[in-house]
Amino acid sequence: MDPEEETEPGTTPDERREEPALPHVEGIVGGPDRPTHVAVVIPAKDEAERIEATVRAAAGIELVDLVVVVDDGSTDATAAIAKGAGAVVVRHRSNQGKAAAMLTGAQLVALRDEAERADGGDRFSEELLAEPRVAGHTGPLPVIGAADAPPRALLFLDGDMQESAAEAAPLVDAVLRDGVDMAIALLPAQEGAAGFGMVVKTSREGIKRATGWEPQQPLSGTRCMTREVWEACQPLAPGWGVETSLSIDAVNAGFWVKEVPCDLHHRATGKDLRGQLHRAAQLRDVMRALARRRHVQPPEIIPEEPTGE
């Protein structure tokens, strides 16, 4: 989701608050089996004009060795162009929504990881040619990486980012090099963005109430995370509630979640009827995601031990 589709009036990049540090939380996950490579998952619908540049930019990010585009019921040439740009393409026959597209993409990456651990991917490629295990799959599956490598991290991008998708690299660094479990893009103000802030505030307050953490851009859908985080956050909230549910479930599971500044740009939503209907759908889905997580209690906070000199 685009974090600036709903913005708070008068907010500029210079006025954004400094990111509050997350408290030390019992059970933060970490260990030797950190991911070494990243798979990019791009849910897209009717992005024929922008998807090629987005795919090529994403593929150029260091340590990205797989780009998956999930064509979520497009009526244009999104799938064909994405495939031509080098992406593995999965097609939904009809529009299933963002959360469903993310699930489909992550499923394909998991199958890829499983195959490489088993036999380097050869058998998986043969099975796809004979009878695809992911409905609507098209395109090659290049065999990359060691067969015993840990599961790839997942980097979710929007299909309309074009060349700026390359600026998601700091998210990859945060997860693969710095030990962050879920890195969320903190975007600059987007040209043409127009909103009343209601959805942003609803999501932010809901996340804070459930976890104790107050994100700056709770609707940011550009995220990189380990497979372990992804699995811990299942089932996802449907539709536009997915970002809110991911943040709540990841923090409450004890993972390290961090917002990371990224100079990413996307097509903004305006104040016309279409934009207003979109924001109404956002608000509906965010409220549903929060309602289903009211029973979740924040994790136990462990106070910092005083240090002696």
Confidence (pLDDT) at 269: 59
Domain assignment present for residue 278? The answer is yes
Give the Cα-Cα-Cα angle 228, 135, 149 (nearest 5 degrees). Answer: 35
Examine the domain organization and report whether 5 and 44 are in the same domain. no
Q: Are 22 and 251 in contact (CB under 8 A)?
A: yes
Domain assignment present for residue 257? The answer is yes
For the chain, which ranges sit under pLDDT 70? 1-32, 119-149, 190-196, 267-276, 278, 294-309
Residue 226, domain CATH: 3.90.550.10
What pTM was computed for the model? 0.76
Domain assignment present for residue 140? The answer is yes
The DSSP annotation for 8-28 comes to -TT--GGGSPPPPPPPPBTT-
CA 63 to the chain's CA centroid: 17
Of the candidates 152, 170, 191, which is a domain's last residue? 152
Residue type, position 268, single letter: A
Handedness of CA 109, 36, 156, 166 (dihedral sign): negative
**What are the strands of the beta sheet with 137-138, ordered from one edge?**
137-138, 88-92, 64-72, 38-44, 153-156, 223-225, 182-186, 257-261
Examine the domain organization and report whether 67 and 114 are in the same domain. yes
Q: How many domains does the chain have?
A: 2
Instruction: Identify the H or E element spanning 44.
Output: strand 38-44
Domain holding 256, by residue range, is: 1-16+25-30+179-294
Q: Are 185 and 222 in contact (CB under 8 A)?
A: yes
Examine the domain organization and report whether 75 and 119 are in the same domain. yes
Domain assignment present for residue 300? The answer is no
Examine the domain organization and report whether 9 and 44 are in the same domain. no
* DSSP H helical ranges for the chain: 51-59, 78-84, 98-119, 122-130, 169-176, 198-211, 227-232, 242-252, 273-291
Q: Could you say which DSSP state residue 4 is in?
A: T
Q: Could you say which DSSP state residue 300 is in?
A: P
Which 3 state secondary structure label does DSSP give 43? strand
List phi, psi (to 5°) of 258. Answer: -145, 140
Confidence (pLDDT) at 33: 77
Domain assignment present for residue 125? The answer is yes
Residue 2 CB neighbours (<10 A): 25
Domain assignment present for residue 112? The answer is yes
Domain assignment present for residue 252? The answer is yes
Q: Are 65 and 57 in contact (CB under 8 A)?
A: no
Examine the domain organization and report whether 287 and 233 are in the same domain. yes
